Amino acid sequence: MKSIGIIGAGQIGSTLAKKLSNLGHSVKIANSRGADSLKILAQETNTEAVELRAAVVNVDLVIISIPQKSIESLPPDLFVGCKESLIVVDTGNYYPLRDGRIDELEEGKLESQWVVSQIQRPVFKAFNSIQAASLADNGKLPGQSERIALPVAGDDHNQKMHLIQLIDELGFDGVDGGTLSESWRQQPGSPVYCTDHNKEDLLRLLQAADRPSLAALRDKGLQLVMQAKEPMKEAREILRRLYEHI
Protein backbone atom coordinates (compact mmCIF):
# COMPACT_ATOMS: atom_id res chain seq x y z
CA MET A 1 0.00 0.00 0.00
CA LYS A 2 1.46 3.31 -1.09
CA SER A 3 -1.56 5.57 -1.50
CA ILE A 4 -3.83 6.07 1.49
CA GLY A 5 -6.94 8.15 2.10
CA ILE A 6 -8.03 9.13 5.60
CA ILE A 7 -11.53 10.35 6.36
CA GLY A 8 -11.50 12.20 9.66
CA ALA A 9 -8.93 14.52 11.20
CA GLY A 10 -9.47 13.78 14.88
CA GLN A 11 -6.80 12.38 17.16
CA ILE A 12 -6.54 8.94 15.57
CA GLY A 13 -6.95 10.16 11.98
CA SER A 14 -4.35 12.91 12.28
CA THR A 15 -1.91 10.65 14.13
CA LEU A 16 -2.16 7.98 11.44
CA ALA A 17 -1.79 10.63 8.74
CA LYS A 18 1.50 11.83 10.21
CA LYS A 19 2.94 8.38 10.90
CA LEU A 20 1.98 6.93 7.53
CA SER A 21 3.36 9.94 5.69
CA ASN A 22 6.62 9.63 7.65
CA LEU A 23 6.84 6.02 6.45
CA GLY A 24 6.77 7.21 2.84
CA HIS A 25 3.14 6.57 1.97
CA SER A 26 1.20 9.12 -0.07
CA VAL A 27 -1.60 10.27 2.23
CA LYS A 28 -4.73 12.26 1.44
CA ILE A 29 -6.87 13.50 4.32
CA ALA A 30 -10.45 14.77 4.28
CA ASN A 31 -13.22 15.71 6.67
CA SER A 32 -16.78 17.00 6.60
CA ARG A 33 -15.71 20.66 6.67
CA GLY A 34 -13.73 20.63 3.44
CA ALA A 35 -10.10 20.74 2.35
CA ASP A 36 -9.55 24.37 3.37
CA SER A 37 -10.08 23.44 7.03
CA LEU A 38 -7.20 20.95 6.82
CA LYS A 39 -4.50 23.09 5.22
CA ILE A 40 -2.49 23.58 8.41
CA LEU A 41 -2.72 19.90 9.39
CA ALA A 42 -1.68 18.88 5.88
CA GLN A 43 1.40 21.09 6.09
CA GLU A 44 2.32 19.75 9.52
CA THR A 45 1.92 16.11 8.47
CA ASN A 46 3.21 16.35 4.89
CA THR A 47 -0.12 15.10 3.55
CA GLU A 48 -2.60 16.38 0.98
CA ALA A 49 -5.84 18.01 2.13
CA VAL A 50 -8.68 17.02 -0.21
CA GLU A 51 -12.44 17.03 -0.44
CA LEU A 52 -14.24 13.97 0.87
CA ARG A 53 -14.79 12.15 -2.42
CA ALA A 54 -11.19 12.67 -3.51
CA ALA A 55 -9.97 10.80 -0.43
CA VAL A 56 -11.27 7.48 -1.78
CA VAL A 57 -10.21 7.84 -5.43
CA ASN A 58 -7.07 6.08 -6.73
CA VAL A 59 -5.95 4.91 -3.30
CA ASP A 60 -5.11 1.44 -1.98
CA LEU A 61 -6.44 1.96 1.54
CA VAL A 62 -9.09 4.17 3.12
CA ILE A 63 -9.20 4.71 6.87
CA ILE A 64 -12.50 5.98 8.26
CA SER A 65 -11.84 7.65 11.59
CA ILE A 66 -14.94 9.62 12.54
CA PRO A 67 -17.49 9.36 15.37
CA GLN A 68 -19.95 6.51 14.96
CA LYS A 69 -22.86 8.93 14.59
CA SER A 70 -21.14 10.61 11.62
CA ILE A 71 -21.06 7.45 9.51
CA GLU A 72 -24.67 8.06 8.50
CA SER A 73 -23.65 11.44 7.07
CA LEU A 74 -21.24 9.95 4.53
CA PRO A 75 -22.57 9.99 0.95
CA PRO A 76 -24.23 6.61 0.26
CA ASP A 77 -22.41 6.36 -3.08
CA LEU A 78 -19.01 7.42 -1.71
CA PHE A 79 -17.26 4.20 -2.71
CA VAL A 80 -18.95 3.69 -6.08
CA GLY A 81 -16.26 3.38 -8.74
CA CYS A 82 -13.38 2.87 -6.33
CA LYS A 83 -10.73 0.21 -6.83
CA GLU A 84 -12.12 -3.30 -6.46
CA SER A 85 -9.12 -4.15 -4.28
CA LEU A 86 -9.59 -1.12 -2.02
CA ILE A 87 -9.12 -1.91 1.69
CA VAL A 88 -11.41 0.04 4.03
CA VAL A 89 -10.63 0.32 7.74
CA ASP A 90 -13.11 1.36 10.41
CA THR A 91 -11.44 2.81 13.52
CA GLY A 92 -14.67 3.90 15.18
CA ASN A 93 -16.27 3.08 18.51
CA TYR A 94 -19.85 3.52 19.66
CA TYR A 95 -20.44 5.64 22.75
CA PRO A 96 -24.12 6.50 23.25
CA LEU A 97 -23.17 9.48 25.43
CA ARG A 98 -21.42 11.03 22.41
CA ASP A 99 -23.22 9.45 19.47
CA GLY A 100 -26.78 9.33 20.75
CA ARG A 101 -28.77 6.13 20.63
CA ILE A 102 -28.33 4.02 17.49
CA ASP A 103 -31.11 1.47 17.69
CA GLU A 104 -29.44 -1.28 15.65
CA LEU A 105 -26.36 -1.17 17.86
CA GLU A 106 -28.41 -1.15 21.03
CA GLU A 107 -30.22 -4.22 19.70
CA GLY A 108 -26.94 -6.10 19.26
CA LYS A 109 -25.61 -5.37 15.78
CA LEU A 110 -21.83 -5.10 15.80
CA GLU A 111 -20.36 -1.66 15.26
CA SER A 112 -18.35 -2.47 12.14
CA GLN A 113 -21.10 -4.62 10.64
CA TRP A 114 -23.35 -1.59 11.01
CA VAL A 115 -20.72 0.51 9.21
CA VAL A 116 -20.75 -2.02 6.35
CA SER A 117 -24.51 -1.64 6.08
CA GLN A 118 -24.16 2.14 5.89
CA ILE A 119 -21.34 2.43 3.32
CA GLN A 120 -22.10 -0.76 1.35
CA ARG A 121 -18.46 -1.80 1.43
CA PRO A 122 -16.59 -4.50 3.38
CA VAL A 123 -14.46 -3.10 6.21
CA PHE A 124 -11.81 -4.16 8.68
CA LYS A 125 -11.92 -3.15 12.33
CA ALA A 126 -8.51 -1.80 13.36
CA PHE A 127 -6.86 1.07 15.26
CA ASN A 128 -9.98 1.40 17.41
CA SER A 129 -8.41 -0.21 20.49
CA ILE A 130 -5.53 2.19 21.13
CA GLN A 131 -5.37 5.76 22.38
CA ALA A 132 -3.93 8.35 20.03
CA ALA A 133 -1.04 9.12 22.42
CA SER A 134 0.05 5.47 22.48
CA LEU A 135 -0.31 5.23 18.72
CA ALA A 136 1.84 8.34 18.29
CA ASP A 137 4.58 7.65 20.82
CA ASN A 138 4.73 3.99 21.84
CA GLY A 139 5.65 2.15 18.66
CA LYS A 140 8.69 -0.13 18.88
CA LEU A 141 10.91 -2.09 16.53
CA PRO A 142 10.05 -5.76 15.97
CA GLY A 143 11.37 -7.97 18.75
CA GLN A 144 11.58 -5.25 21.39
CA SER A 145 10.07 -6.14 24.74
CA GLU A 146 6.48 -5.18 25.55
CA ARG A 147 5.72 -4.16 21.99
CA ILE A 148 2.03 -3.22 21.91
CA ALA A 149 -0.21 -5.49 19.85
CA LEU A 150 -3.22 -4.30 17.85
CA PRO A 151 -6.05 -6.58 16.69
CA VAL A 152 -7.44 -6.58 13.16
CA ALA A 153 -10.86 -8.12 12.51
CA GLY A 154 -12.14 -8.74 9.00
CA ASP A 155 -13.10 -11.36 6.46
CA ASP A 156 -10.54 -11.19 3.63
CA HIS A 157 -7.38 -12.99 4.75
CA ASN A 158 -5.03 -11.53 2.12
CA GLN A 159 -6.13 -7.96 2.77
CA LYS A 160 -5.86 -8.56 6.50
CA MET A 161 -2.24 -9.64 6.08
CA HIS A 162 -1.52 -6.35 4.26
CA LEU A 163 -2.98 -4.46 7.21
CA ILE A 164 -1.00 -6.48 9.73
CA GLN A 165 2.16 -5.68 7.77
CA LEU A 166 1.27 -1.98 7.81
CA ILE A 167 0.71 -2.11 11.58
CA ASP A 168 4.16 -3.66 11.93
CA GLU A 169 5.63 -0.74 9.96
CA LEU A 170 3.94 1.63 12.39
CA GLY A 171 5.70 -0.02 15.32
CA PHE A 172 3.15 -2.49 16.64
CA ASP A 173 2.42 -6.22 16.46
CA GLY A 174 -0.62 -6.80 14.27
CA VAL A 175 -2.80 -9.66 15.50
CA ASP A 176 -5.51 -11.51 13.59
CA GLY A 177 -8.63 -10.74 15.60
CA GLY A 178 -10.85 -13.07 13.59
CA THR A 179 -13.65 -12.31 11.17
CA LEU A 180 -15.72 -9.16 11.30
CA SER A 181 -18.34 -11.12 13.25
CA GLU A 182 -15.75 -11.35 16.04
CA SER A 183 -14.90 -7.64 16.01
CA TRP A 184 -16.92 -7.22 19.22
CA ARG A 185 -13.88 -8.65 21.00
CA GLN A 186 -12.06 -5.33 20.48
CA GLN A 187 -14.97 -2.94 21.01
CA PRO A 188 -15.22 -0.72 24.12
CA GLY A 189 -16.00 -2.98 27.08
CA SER A 190 -13.46 -5.58 25.98
CA PRO A 191 -10.31 -6.05 28.13
CA VAL A 192 -8.14 -5.28 25.07
CA TYR A 193 -9.68 -1.83 24.58
CA CYS A 194 -7.09 0.92 25.22
CA THR A 195 -5.09 -1.21 27.66
CA ASP A 196 -1.88 -1.65 25.58
CA HIS A 197 -0.94 -5.33 25.88
CA ASN A 198 1.76 -7.37 24.19
CA LYS A 199 0.85 -9.99 21.60
CA GLU A 200 0.61 -12.94 23.99
CA ASP A 201 -1.62 -11.11 26.47
CA LEU A 202 -3.73 -9.57 23.71
CA LEU A 203 -4.52 -12.99 22.23
CA ARG A 204 -5.53 -14.28 25.66
CA LEU A 205 -7.70 -11.27 26.43
CA LEU A 206 -9.43 -11.36 23.04
CA GLN A 207 -10.64 -14.84 23.93
CA ALA A 208 -11.58 -13.77 27.47
CA ALA A 209 -13.85 -10.96 26.26
CA ASP A 210 -17.50 -11.44 27.23
CA ARG A 211 -20.00 -10.09 24.75
CA PRO A 212 -23.02 -9.83 27.10
CA SER A 213 -20.94 -7.62 29.42
CA LEU A 214 -19.62 -5.21 26.78
CA ALA A 215 -22.13 -2.37 27.13
CA ALA A 216 -22.04 -2.30 30.94
CA LEU A 217 -18.24 -2.43 31.05
CA ARG A 218 -17.98 0.20 28.30
CA ASP A 219 -20.12 2.60 30.30
CA LYS A 220 -18.39 1.77 33.60
CA GLY A 221 -14.98 2.34 32.04
CA LEU A 222 -16.04 5.67 30.57
CA GLN A 223 -17.44 6.77 33.91
CA LEU A 224 -14.22 5.92 35.74
CA VAL A 225 -12.04 7.64 33.15
CA MET A 226 -14.16 10.80 33.15
CA GLN A 227 -13.88 10.99 36.94
CA ALA A 228 -10.07 10.98 36.77
CA LYS A 229 -8.07 14.18 37.23
CA GLU A 230 -6.28 13.62 33.92
CA PRO A 231 -8.58 11.31 31.93
CA MET A 232 -6.39 10.82 28.86
CA LYS A 233 -3.22 10.13 30.84
CA GLU A 234 -4.90 7.81 33.35
CA ALA A 235 -7.21 5.91 31.02
CA ARG A 236 -4.95 2.93 30.36
CA GLU A 237 -4.32 2.14 34.02
CA ILE A 238 -7.95 2.74 34.97
CA LEU A 239 -9.14 0.30 32.31
CA ARG A 240 -6.45 -2.23 33.20
CA ARG A 241 -7.65 -2.22 36.80
CA LEU A 242 -11.19 -2.71 35.60
CA TYR A 243 -10.13 -5.96 33.93
CA GLU A 244 -7.42 -7.13 36.32
CA HIS A 245 -9.52 -10.14 37.38
CA ILE A 246 -9.27 -11.64 33.86
Q: What is the pLDDT of residues 157-166, one digit of tens each?
A: 999 999 999 9
Checking if the pLDDT of 1 tops 80, the result is no
d(CA 54, CA 49): 9
DSSP 172: S
**Region 119-124: what's the mean pLDDT?**
97
Per-domain residue ranges for the chain? 3-242
pTM of this prediction?
0.97
pLDDT at 2: 87
Alpha-carbon span 175 to 166, nearest angstrom? 12
- Measure the CA–CA gap between 165 and 167, rounded to whole angstroms: 5
- pLDDT (tens digit per residue) in 134-157: 999 999 999 999 999 999 999 999
Q: Domain 3-242 sits in which CATH superfamily?
A: NAD(P)-binding Rossmann-like Domain (3.40.50.720)
pLDDT in tens, 83-117: 999 999 999 999 999 999 999 999 999 999 999 99
List 149's β-bridge partners, or say none.
173
Q: Give tens-digit pLDDT for 173-193.
A: 999 999 999 999 999 999 999
Q: How far apart are CA 113 and CA 86, in angstroms?
A: 17
pLDDT per position as a tens digit, 202-227: 999 999 999 999 999 999 999 999 99
Q: How confident is the model at residue 11 (pLDDT cuts 50, 70, 90)?
A: very high
Query: Mean pLDDT over all residues of the chain?
Result: 97
CA distances from 120 to 56, 79, 172, 216 (A): 14, 8, 30, 30
Please report, rounded to a whole number, the percentage of residues in the chain having pLDDT higher than 90: 99
